[in-house]
Structure 1
Amino acid sequence: MDSQNIFILGIESSCDDTAASVIYNGKILSNVIASQKIHEEYGGVVPELASRAHQQNIVPVVHQALKKAGVTKEELSAVAFTRGPGLMGSLLVGTSFAKSLAYGLNIPLIDVNHMQAHILAHYIDEEGFKKPPFPFLAMTISGGHTQIVKVNHYFDMEVIGETIDDAVGEAFDKSGKILGLGYPAGPEIDKRAKLGNPKAFKFTKPKVDGLNFSFSGLKTGILYFVQRETKVNPNFIKENLNDICASIQYTIIDILVDKLKKASKETGIKHIAIGGGVSANSGIRQALKDGEQKFEWTTYVPKFEYTTDNAAMIAIVGYLKYLEGNFTKQDIMASARLKI
């Protein structure tokens, strides 16, 4: 197999972003994302609206990705796409488009697990970013997922801890909703947290066995706290917003780092990588950097644009699978609850 000139088109449509990327021998040539603003009005992603928007966006997004990369579709070696997990309607759009394109061009089709892709985004050739050696621990944190994964090799991964209820992204968004912030609330909380005192208010951390997480209790605790304080002072949120945001963020990061410390101790692994949309959070990035000093970790944080849902991470997995000749058949189905 000619490993000199491999062009992979990656397609991502698991939630509300339609994305396409072209990778050439491990280097990203283009990474195009069409975001859907409509969901902001509803305070969350509306699946039916998301799949309709994907149908409108997918052809122009793929066209733009090829154009930006300076590659014709005839030059493509394979088409990689997100098979799952995600919203079924959204996944179906990307899956059927990828299948048709690969079939029409008579080139291999490669299915990609979205959660594996968040982890393997670390293997994109990017100047100034180091790649983690095996084995390493990966913490994937996003709106839908919170997991600690032991990564033995590219496609040999084991989930050793995960959330038993809400994901960390939901904890940020639901806390933001309680405070009257817009959706998604994570970036806004992060911004305000920098201006506030993280020790201003204390929230109880849930006690969960092993390496698993729970965030629903924290969310309820924040709700009761805000209700109690606003009864006394109706302007409580307005007067203390930065401090509340800083305290919420501090507590969430504390929960994540505690479990990472435990996982590192239990496995003896000191190479720690993060991925997923919430890894764009500046507090989490700082906490990992601090971990290098405190716990002698070597940490790996992906380039900002590879943290949220994007197709570059799908393309790199496509490239790694292509090198192994790991292709899929045309009768493959999207899977909303695909496991790592």
Structure 2
Amino acid sequence: MPVQYILAFESSCDDTSVAIVDTDYNVIVNLISSQPEHLEFGGILPELASRLHLKNIVTLTKAALNASKLNLQDISAIAVSINPGLIGSLIVGLAFAKGLAWSLSLPLITVNHILSHIFANFIEHKAVEPPFLALVVSGGHTELVHFDTLTTFTVVGKTLDDAAGESFDKAAKLLGLGFPGGPAIDELAQKGNPNFIKFPRALPQKNNFNFSYSGLKTAIRTWLVNQNPETLQAELPDIAASVQQAIIDPLVHKTVLWARQHKIPYILLAGGVAANSALRQQLTTTSAKYGIKVFYPSNALCMDNAAMVGAAAIPKFLTKNYAPLSINVSSLKGTRQV
């Protein structure tokens, strides 16, 4: 089959992205428009995000086509993420994708945003084949997903409350490091001692593959209020390293344990927190002891982007698993087929 092109859209949160990928997982173009307007609020304002997506999506689409030197007649399918995410933001992407698909008589392919993060790995690691275990770590999700094939999978562990990325953000806010918190803690922790404070690790029971971070947030706040404010600044790298280690330890331990028990040769790290340097290093080192290989996307592909949406759409395109134009967005969390 000749290589064909998929035009993909991502608008689940605060980044508008348009990409064109081919059916061999090659990225022709991947454009992202971030929304710094939210920074002054310390978080994402959903209504503002929706309005900015409306403003950006047409301009980005034109720019993507110009950069790729392709036109709409060269496109074979339209792909878009439809859940989970901010409903208003998702609606903008889906409505635009539907309009293009209908007007061009092209198939519409809808994908799950979290599944897209996992498929970002195939853009740079095309040789990976199932079975594999995916560790999804983002601001709203922490999941272990066991893939038997590219289209059949089971969520074998998930967070019961806060996600790992959310914990980074909340800890950073408590430490006065701003938003988003993950990169700030990662950078600071590289100069600190991860054993400075022994924060709790939740759900240590044998063969429990779920995660919990709400207790860690409480433990961090309780510890901080009992410290001398004058000395906290000097200890900030050690505190950041200790917080980071408390978040990472359960992720590494439970992921490697499941892979060992089920003789899975590959682990795919995915999501925004997949860019964390300590998580990458520790998961890779621990897995290597048991002959398990770890893959993760480059930092740019860990963030929300449309290239990963296009990558997740490829198996559906090849099997002609198209979506009806009546499909709608959903806030349902987790990795799933849609």
TM over 0.5: yes
Aligned 1:8-87 pairs, distance under 5 A: 8-25=6-23, 26-87=25-86
Describe the SS at the equivalent of 2:226: helix
Residue aligning to 1:221: 219
Q: CA RMSD in A?
A: 1.3
Residue aligning to 1:105: 104
Aligned 1:154-169 pairs, distance under 5 A: 154-169=150-165
- Aligned partners of 1:193, 1:175: CA distance in 2, in Å? 13
Residue aligning to 2:171: 175
Question: Structure 1 134/199 Cα, relative in aligned 2: closer, same or farther at 3 Å?
Answer: same
* Larger mean Cα displacement after TM superposition, 163-172 or 193-202: 193-202
Long gaps (5+) in structure 2: none
How many residue pairs match? The answer is 332
Question: Structure 1 9/130 Cα, relative in aligned 2: closer, same or farther at 3 Å?
Answer: closer
Residue 239 (structure 1) aligned to one of 234, 237, 246: 234
Q: Is the 8 A contact 1:130 1:300 kept in 2?
A: no
- Aligned partners of 2:315, 2:18: CA distance in 1, in Å? 17
- Aligned partners of 2:315, 2:32: CA distance in 1, in Å? 22
Residue 253 (structure 1) aligned to one of 234, 239, 248: 248
Cα deviation, residue 5, structure 1 = 3.4
Cα deviation, residue 221, structure 1 = 0.2
Q: Is the 8 A contact 1:199 1:247 kept in 2?
A: yes
Residue 307 (structure 2) aligned to one of 312, 316, 329: 312
Please tell me the residue identity of whatever aligns with 2:254.
Answer: K
- Aligned partners of 1:8, 1:94: CA distance in 2, in Å? 15
Please tell me the residue identity of whatever aligns with 1:237.
Answer: L
Aligned 1:298-337 pairs, distance under 5 A: 298-337=293-332
Question: Structure 1 68/115 Cα, relative in aligned 2: closer, same or farther at 3 Å?
Answer: same
Per-residue CA distance 1:155-184 (angstroms, 9 max, x = gap)? 111100000000100000000000011100
Moved over 4 A (4+): none
Q: Is the 8 A contact 1:292 1:299 kept in 2?
A: yes
Cα deviation, residue 262, structure 1 = 2.6
Per-residue CA distance 1:109-141 (angstroms, 9 max, x = gap)? 1111111111122222x3xx3542211100000
Please tell me the residue identity of whatever aligns with 1:191.
Answer: E
- Aligned partners of 2:91, 2:58: CA distance in 1, in Å? 14
Long gaps (5+) in structure 1: none
Q: Is the 8 A contact 2:185 2:241 kept in 1?
A: yes
Residue aligning to 2:288: 293
Describe the SS at the equivalent of 1:138: strand
Report whether the alignment pairs 1:119 with 2:118: yes
Please tell me the residue identity of whatever aligns with 1:203.
Answer: F
- Aligned partners of 1:132, 1:218: CA distance in 2, in Å? 35
Residue 180 (structure 2) aligned to one of 152, 172, 184: 184
- Aligned partners of 2:199, 2:127: CA distance in 1, in Å? 36
- Aligned partners of 1:59, 1:51: CA distance in 2, in Å? 14
Please tell me the residue identity of whatever aligns with 1:295.
Answer: Y
Report whether the alignment pairs 1:149 with 2:141: no
Residue aligning to 1:132: 128
Cα deviation, residue 268, structure 1 = 2.4
Q: Is the 8 A contact 2:260 2:290 kept in 1?
A: no
Per-residue CA distance 1:257-280 (angstroms, 9 max, x = gap)? 111133123322231111000000
Cα deviation, residue 13, structure 1 = 0.6
Question: Structure 1 259/271 Cα, relative in aligned 2: closer, same or farther at 3 Å?
Answer: same
Residue 284 (structure 1) aligned to one of 279, 282, 288: 279
Describe the SS at the equivalent of 2:17: strand
Per-residue CA distance 1:227-278 (angstroms, 9 max, x = gap)? 111xxx2223211111111111111111211111331233222311110000
Q: Is the 8 A contact 1:137 1:271 kept in 2?
A: yes
Structure 1 length as normaliser, TM-score? Answer: 0.94
- Aligned partners of 2:253, 2:312: CA distance in 1, in Å? 30
Cα deviation, residue 208, structure 1 = 5.5
- Aligned partners of 1:208, 1:55: CA distance in 2, in Å? 45
Question: Structure 1 185/294 Cα, relative in aligned 2: closer, same or farther at 3 Å?
Answer: same
Please tell me the residue identity of whatever aligns with 1:100.
Answer: G
Identical amino acids, percent of aligned pairs? 42
